[in-house]
């Protein structure tokens, strides 16, 4: 006999309750990374294929820039270490009463541009997959697309758009961090829903995953925005020359 | 960070197997686990991998740490599928959970049994672009340095009540993350100077690969044949 719960509201409540408290209050949540093995072979292969040109673009940019500036390669390596540490850091999510982790792709997108930021994310994700079981080798492509591609582009484009409208640095940084985080979370939900749907329809499952992640990811995006704003403000106060060197600011903006 | 493989014992049964063989075998096994449509194969792979972890004398704490997150995710997926599609969903969910645990076990054995530098060498043998491997090595080397810097800053902030309220905590966290970026810039400048003094011209010399040993090839062929036979059942 087929098992069915008739009360739809009860199903939704139980779904949210289960996800929220079994995953997020039991340990630090790593919701931005899709775990090893979740995606079936065809989806894992598809996301890997999609991620390849972006990583290749990052490598091309790296080769070009490091030919001009010998310190660029070590800088990218160290930025990858920073993204690795930031995306392993548990930070409090007040509304969820628990901890989650930021992506760090917003700030790397702003500082080194989306191409290099994608490469940085790919490196950080590979170390996490191999040695910490955050993410995975089979979901590496999917994680690069959600965190690297979407996160970096969302952060970079938001920051550039707001700066071109003369919005101040802290607000631009905040919005860049916020959208980078939310873009990552949205893409992760799409990847997760498509990977685990089986024969079920995609859209209802996608909405359910999206809704289930809201209690954690919504405030986390705001926290990532605050963190990105704090980082960019600190860099502006302490080393504005670096922001000029990385083409985040124009020389006249620093002089002003 | 004690979970990193570098901190584990090196005198176990897989330590003498070539890293290239281990990496290729792991990738083949992952492909088989992901494409298998039943419960049995991932469960068998998990059992073999757990046995190998026991033989490698992986400390229980590290083993639990490594598996806790994937196990939670597997449990959530089972519940999620159950409440969406009932009994059919439950079966689907258990299939996905088995796949997760099987795949995580394979990567765990690879990570526990192979030092980072050997994995890098194996990746370079697999024609992964040199630039990518160089960034990977620099990142891995400086994760520990930056982590130490982060702990010093965090303790200093904590001692000065930097995390006594949400607002101050957020501000302190932003400063901590920003300081890490500043440290990254400083370190990269210092490393470049040090490397140029030692003849750095933009390329880090690649590692040389030893020729394969016959017993390594035999090991991989037997392993993949047996497991491949199980996979086809």
For A56-81, the DSSP string reads HHHHHHHHHHHHH-TTHHHHHHHHHH
**Any chain B CB within 8 A of the CB of A52?**
no
Average pLDDT over residues B72-79: 83
**What pLDDT score was predicted for residue A142?**
94
A163/A161 Cα distance (integer angstroms): 6
Topology of domain A39-251 in CATH is Arp2/3 complex 21 kDa subunit ARPC3 (1.10.1760)
> To the nearest whole number, what is the mean pLDDT of chain B?
85
- Note whether B188 contacts A239, CB cutoff 8 Å: no
Count of pairs with CB atoms under 8 A, one residue in A, one in B: 265
**What pLDDT score was predicted for residue B16?**
78
Q: Quickly state the pLDDT bin for A17 (edges 50, 70, 90).
A: very low
Distance from CA of A228 to the nearest CA of B (A): 7
End-to-end, the C-alpha distance of chain B in Å comes to 40
CB contact set of B110 (below 8 Å; sequence gap of 6+): A130, B22, B23, B26, B119
Q: Is the dihedral of CA A131, A135, A139, A142 positive or negative?
A: negative
More confident residue, A253 or A239: A239
- Note whether B174 contacts A37, CB cutoff 8 Å: no
**What pLDDT score was predicted for residue A96?**
44
Q: Quickly state the pLDDT bin for A2 (edges 50, 70, 90).
A: very low
More confident residue, B172 or B12: B172
**What pLDDT score was predicted for residue A98?**
46
DSSP A22: I
Q: What would the DSSP string read from start to end of A89-154?
A: --EEETTTTEEE----HHHHHHHHHHHHHHHHHHHHHHHHHHHT-SS-STTHHHHIIIIIIIHHHH
Half-sphere exposure of A181 (CA within 13 A, CB side): 31
Average pLDDT over residues A31-58: 89
Q: What length does chain B have? A: 233
B93/B32 Cα distance (integer angstroms): 18
User: What stretch of H or E contains A215?
Assistant: helix A202-238
Task: Indicate whether A93 pLDDT > 90.
Answer: no
Average pLDDT over residues B200-224: 79
Average pLDDT over residues B63-71: 84
Residue range B98-130, pLDDT digits in tens: 999 999 999 999 988 888 888 888 998 888 998
Specify whether the CB–CB gap between A154 and A185 falls below 8 A: no
Long-range contacts of B53-60 (CB under 8 A, 24+ apart): B53/B105, B53/B108, B53/B109, B53/B112, B55/B12, B55/B13, B56/B8, B56/B9, B56/B12, B56/B13, B56/B14, B56/B109, B56/B112, B56/B113, B57/B9, B57/B12, B58/B8, B58/B112
Specify whether the CB–CB gap between B73 and B115 falls below 8 A: no
Specify whether the CB–CB gap between A86 and A98 falls below 8 A: no
Domain ranges of chain A: 39-251
Q: pTM, whole model, 2 decimals? A: 0.86
Task: Indicate whether A216 pLDDT > 80.
Answer: no
Task: Give me the percent of chain A exceeding a pLDDT of 90.
Answer: 40
ipTM: 0.87
Between CA B28 and CA B9, with CA A137 as vertex, the angle to 5 degrees is 85
DSSP B201: S
- Note whether A230 contacts B33, CB cutoff 8 Å: no
**What pLDDT score was predicted for residue A157?**
96
Distance from CA of A161 to the nearest CA of B (A): 22
Which tokens go with B12? 């176990």
A144/A55 Cα distance (integer angstroms): 9
**Weakest mean pLDDT among A196-200, B47-51, B193-197:** A196-200
Distance from CA of A39 to the nearest CA of B (A): 8
Q: Quickly state the pLDDT bin for B86 (edges 50, 70, 90).
A: confident
- Note whether B138 contacts A92, CB cutoff 8 Å: no
Residue range B161-205, pLDDT digits in tens: 888 888 888 888 888 888 988 998 888 889 889 988 888 877 777
DSSP A199: T
Facing A132 at nearest CB: one of B3, B84, B101: B3
Task: Indicate whether A8 pLDDT > 70.
Answer: no
**What pLDDT score was predicted for residue B8?**
57
Which tokens go with B65? 């740490």
Which tokens go with B63? 């083993």
B96/B222 Cα distance (integer angstroms): 28
Interface of B with A in 68-127 (CB under 8 A): 68-70, 72-77, 79-81, 83-90, 92, 96, 99-104, 107-108, 110-111, 116, 119
- Note whether A18 contacts B136, CB cutoff 8 Å: no
**What pLDDT score was predicted for residue A27?**
41
* A61 Rama class: left (phi>0) / alpha (psi -120 to 50) / beta: alpha
Q: Quickly state the pLDDT bin for A212 (edges 50, 70, 90).
A: confident
- Note whether A40 contacts B99, CB cutoff 8 Å: yes
More confident residue, B107 or A23: B107
B80 vs A15, A16, B86, CA distance in Å? 6, 9, 10
A173 vs A106, A150, B175, CA distance in Å? 8, 16, 14
């Amino acid at each position: 006999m087929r098992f069915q719960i008739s009360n739809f509201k009860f199903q939704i409540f139980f779904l949210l309750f289960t996800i929220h408290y079994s995953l997020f209050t039991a340990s630090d949540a790593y919701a931005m990374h899709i775990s090893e093995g979740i995606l079936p072979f065809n989806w894992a292969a598809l996301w890997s294929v999609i991620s390849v040109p972006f990583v290749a673009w990052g490598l091309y940019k790296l080769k070009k820039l490091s030919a001009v500036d010998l310190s660029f390669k070590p800088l990218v390596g160290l930025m990858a270490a920073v993204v690795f540490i930031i995306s392993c850091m548990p930070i409090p999510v007040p509304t969820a009463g628990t901890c989650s982790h930021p992506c760090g792709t917003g700030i790397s997108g702003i500082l080194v541009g989306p191409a290099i930021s994608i490469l940085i994310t790919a490196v950080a994700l590979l170390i996490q997959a191999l040695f910490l079981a955050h993410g995975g080798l089979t979901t590496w492509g999917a994680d690069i697309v959600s965190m690297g591609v979407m996160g970096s582009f969302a952060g970079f484009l938001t920051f550039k758009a707001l700066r071109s409208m003369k919005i101040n640095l802290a607000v631009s940084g905040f919005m860049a961090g916020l959208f980078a985080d939310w873009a990552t979370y949205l893409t992760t939900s799409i990847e997760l829903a498509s990977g685990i749907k089986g024969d079920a329809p995609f859209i209802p499952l996608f909405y359910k995953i999206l809704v289930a992640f809201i209690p954690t990811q919504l405030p986390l995006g705001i926290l990532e925005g605050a963190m990105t704003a704090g980082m960019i403000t600190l860099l502006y106060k302490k080393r504005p020359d670096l922001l000029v060197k990385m083409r985040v600011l124009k020389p006249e903006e620093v002089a002003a | 960070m004690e979970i990193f493989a570098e901190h584990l014992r090196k005198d176990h049964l897989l330590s003498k197997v070539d890293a290239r063989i281990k990496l290729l075998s792991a990738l083949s096994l992952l492909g088989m686990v992901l494409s298998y449509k039943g419960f049995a194969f991932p469960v068998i792979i998990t059992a073999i991998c757990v046995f190998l972890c026991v033989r490698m004398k992986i400390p229980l704490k590290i083993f639990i740490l490594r598996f806790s997150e994937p196990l939670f995710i597997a449990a959530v997926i089972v519940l999620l599928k159950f409440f969406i599609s009932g009994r059919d969903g439950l079966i689907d969910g258990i299939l996905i959970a088995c796949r997760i645990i099987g795949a995580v076990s394979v990567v765990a054995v690879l990570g526990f049994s192979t030092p980072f530098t050997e994995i890098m060498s194996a990746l370079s043998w697999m024609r992964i672009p040199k630039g990518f491997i160089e960034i990977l090595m620099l990142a891995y080397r400086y994760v520990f340095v930056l982590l130490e810097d982060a702990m010093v800053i965090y303790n200093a902030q904590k001692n000065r009540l930097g995390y006594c309220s949400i607002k101050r905590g957020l501000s302190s966290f932003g400063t901590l993350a920003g300081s890490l970026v500043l440290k990254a810039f400083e370190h990269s400048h210092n490393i470049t100077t040090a490397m140029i003094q030692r003849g750095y011209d933009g390329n880090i010399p690649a590692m040389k690969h030893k020729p394969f040993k016959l017993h390594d090839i035999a090991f991989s062929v037997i392993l993949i044949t047996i497991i491949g036979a199980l996979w086809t059942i």
